[in-house]
Amino acid sequence: MLTFDLDDDAIVAEMSEEASQSAQPDGLYVLDSPVTVKGHEPFAELRLREPVVFDVLMQAKAIGKRVTEEGVYDGQIALVSRISGWPVLAVNALPASVLDDAIGYVAGFEEDARRKPDEEADRAAEKVFRLDRAVEAVNRTWNELRLREPTVAERRRFKADEARQTQEAFFQSEINLMAAVSGWQMAAILKMPISVFAKASDYLTGFFIAGPTPGSRFRAS
């Protein structure tokens, strides 16, 4: 299970503040009619950016223990709310088609980066990912992610995390594996752009899917 040095509320507050300060919005939608919610100024613009890993982890947490259509939609609403800075009540007041476009935009960063079902896994002995924009975390600058094939022990930990069979558990298992193999601190991984994380995670888990016939590396002596 993914663990933090800080309690969950502190992590949420810290990561939300850091993400909003470090990530620049790159998507803007101006509403025809501003959304009004009691206690807030009217919301006229929806500004979006690429999610970081922590944003997607919170989305998975919002889905809940059982994956249902309603839960997935709740998770998507939660993600748009986090990225835009709008309260959930304001997001719920959006025209449905506008929310669909917003979901497609923020989810597209991960979906476009993930390995396609018919795409062959990359089994290179080593893989290096260089970030266009460095991550600042734990008093360090992180701009290079160096990975290699996971060990048996690392795969066992991955399978144990994954066995809880929730969206959150699946995503946490990828995060934990990334931390174990890369040597990156957890705080740095949580601030990583989701597109980089998705490609890197697919490289690591690519060693766990069907490949060469078992035993083909060995010959009779």
To 10 degrees, what angle do helices 69-84 and 53-63 make? 150
Whether 23 and 106 share a structural domain: yes
What are 144's strand-pairing partners? Answer: 130
CA distances from residue 121 to 67, 125, 195, 200 in whole angstroms, order as listed:
27, 12, 17, 12
Are 21 and 97 members of one domain?
yes
Same domain for 106 and 41? yes
Residue 106, domain member (yes or no): yes
**Residue 5: per-residue pLDDT:** 43
Together in a domain, 101 and 134:
no
Note whether 100 and 75 are same-domain residues.
yes
Per-residue pLDDT band for 61 (boundaries 50, 70, 90) equals very high
Which range marks the domain in which residue 99 is found?
A: 17-113
- Measure the CA–CA gap between 108 and 26, rounded to whole angstroms: 13
For residues 139 and 95, membership in a common domain is answered with no
- pLDDT of amino acid 7: 44
How many folded domains does the chain comprise?
2
Alpha helices by DSSP H, listed for the chain, are 8-22, 53-63, 69-84, 88-92, 96-113, 152-162, 167-182, 186-190, 194-205
Query: Does the pLDDT at position 65 exceed 60?
Result: yes
Calpha distance 105→100 (Å, rounded): 9
Place 3 in a pLDDT band, splitting at 50, 70 and 90.
Answer: very low
Query: Which tokens belong to 29?
Result: 């939608």
Task: Give the predicted TM-score (pTM) of the model.
Answer: 0.85
- Exposed, middle or buried by CB within 10 Å (0-12, 13-18, 19+), for 149? middle
User: What local confidence, expressed as pLDDT, does residue 165 receive?
Assistant: 82
Assess if residue 132 is contained within a domain: yes
Q: Tens digit of pLDDT for each residue in 201-220?
A: 999 999 998 665 556 666 66
Q: Does some domain include residue 11?
A: no
| Predicted confidence (pLDDT) per residue in 22-33, tens digit | 455 578 999 999
Domain final residue, candidates 86, 113, 140: 113
